[in-house]
Structure 1
């Protein structure tokens, strides 16, 4: 008998469970909205379409999507290696701190060179911070989840210390951020918009590079083999320890680039909450796409649309904009439940 129906059953089942997961998430979020006396249909209209209501909101969506894509793309590497890099937030913060160094110390250099140095330092800072978690995981057998969470707190403390201490604004110590960067150092933006075209370009190029590395190179094949069974991969001659460290470093570098975009293209200064929860949102993206780089772009774009679209809800409906986070989390939860039921079946 032909095996064609059997081969096509997997994708069909995946689409079915994906649709059921979305429906379940919408129903769950609707119950939350109804408990707050909010019309779910009107709320979903704002969530799904609000980010397209004006050019400024569309530009905000793109500027949120760029660092989200970078962090999500980096996390596909650690997830492929079987690692849960919950330290992505701290890596993004330290990347932003490192990017500030040339901007503050070498401000007399030509602006294009300053941009290159900022992105290089940001990537290096994020990679170094990720390797701290990697060293604890590989060398001392400390679970990367606990190591990453601890390093997140430390990174936040470092950023807050710099903002209130050595890098505080002239004549005041404000927790709102450091002295804003000179406008000529900001990434160029489109006229009357907050969109810096360099940000999405960098994000898409990085995503394409990671997709190629994971799916089209021997290195990516070895990384996935390590994620499936490190001991068996080692017996086959794959340097498992090195691949784990490389996945941490590459993920941290992507987070560092995201932090640099936050400094140069969004806030134009270092603030304590420079990561803006983007690293945690990227974890949801990667859980949903099963660490497959192919799906990072559409899912990250959808999450950016939900987040920016929901910002109108407090004024329009009197509901908190965090309802977008409820929807995003519910989608991931129901997708994981559906995946588990599918595997058991």
Structure 2
């Protein structure tokens, strides 16, 4: 609680230095996130892939791996879904097409996670650098496809590939980006993640590997298999997030299809100290901040990047608070 109060004071100081009012900023961000049904729908549509990415990261973080390749895994899932949808002819049953697209996203993200794990475990490359390298590779591949083989007819644009038929999009509420099916997928993934981490032998083995790799190996736990599994599961969940970006939000492949939700999920997981039961409220908070910040340039002439400062400050002071608490016990 003390860390949260200090974080709020720090954030207020930054806002004052920016010639803003903390109360006006809070009101503006609230209005930007919840001021209308369309804005709230945008919060929920952002929440869905964020939940999936955070669920995936829980597995790698629990096994002691800092999987910074989550952005690339989201992008790989989106690319795989786009590839599948481009092969499907008009008139194909939409439900089957969308299902196949999501399955393709799972495979694409899972493969990207597997490659990151192989670089780390067999190539002896730090998972941090391996992940970042795979991020750049996936981003480069997306750019190549958007401006190359998959470019829009007659023009290559940052707006992305040719939009898919409305039939190949998840149904949404009204004219918003909110898809109840996407939310249901994210919630199911969250429940499965919580059960696997907290109530299964698999989750217990992941914790053992994360707490002490050598001791886990001595006890007969297949540490390599556990770590590779965590990479693949994380990639698969991130791949679903990428698929939802294609079939529920953008309806095409764009260069920045991940929308930095992978890095935002990293903040979520670090802030909750890898507790899956806290993913939903913290992810909802970050999603609200992310969407609400879009109102700041319009109503207060403040840069929307202020949201990143708020999110970063919350994480920083939470980590500092946790570290000081551990020091006081020693």
Q: Tell whether 2:175 aligns with 1:154.
A: no
How far residue 308 of structure 1 moved from its aligned partner, in angstroms, is 1.1
Q: Tell whether 2:8 aligns with 1:26.
A: yes
Give the count of matched residue pairs: 327
Aligned to 1:326: 309
Q: Tell whether 2:207 aligns with 1:229.
A: no
Aligned to 2:196: 213
258-267 vs 35-44, greater mean Cα deviation = 35-44
Paired with 2:28 and 2:157, the residues of 1 have a C-alpha distance of: 34
SS at match of 1:167: coil
Paired with 2:55 and 2:30, the residues of 1 have a C-alpha distance of: 23
Per-residue CA distance 1:71-126 (angstroms, 9 max, x = gap): 00110110000000000000000100001122001234311111111111101100
How far residue 175 of structure 1 moved from its aligned partner, in angstroms, is 2.4
Aligned to 1:287: 270
SS at match of 1:155: helix
Aligned to 1:307: 290
How far residue 185 of structure 1 moved from its aligned partner, in angstroms, is 0.9
Aligned to 1:11: none
CA contact (8 A) 1:125 1:253 kept: yes
**1:1-345 paired onto structure 2 within 5 Å:** 19-108=1-90, 109-345=92-328
Please give the TM-score of this superposition, normalised by the length of structure 2: 0.97
65-74 vs 229-238, greater mean Cα deviation = 229-238
Structure 2 gaps of 5+ residues are none
Paired with 1:308 and 1:38, the residues of 2 have a C-alpha distance of: 19
Structure 1 gaps of 5+ residues are 1-18
Per-residue CA distance 1:34-64 (angstroms, 9 max, x = gap): 1111111110122245311100000000000
Aligned to 1:3: none
CA contact (8 A) 2:85 2:97 kept: yes
Paired with 1:280 and 1:273, the residues of 2 have a C-alpha distance of: 13
How far residue 296 of structure 1 moved from its aligned partner, in angstroms, is 0.3
CA contact (8 A) 1:107 1:114 kept: no
Paired with 2:50 and 2:132, the residues of 1 have a C-alpha distance of: 19
How far residue 140 of structure 1 moved from its aligned partner, in angstroms, is 1.7
Aligned to 1:14: none
CA contact (8 A) 2:31 2:295 kept: no
SS at match of 1:246: helix
Per-residue CA distance 1:118-175 (angstroms, 9 max, x = gap): 1111011001001111001111211000000011111100000000000000111112
Per-residue CA distance 1:286-330 (angstroms, 9 max, x = gap): 000111101000000010111111111111100011111111100
SS at match of 1:177: coil
Q: Root-mean-square deviation (CA), in Å? A: 0.9
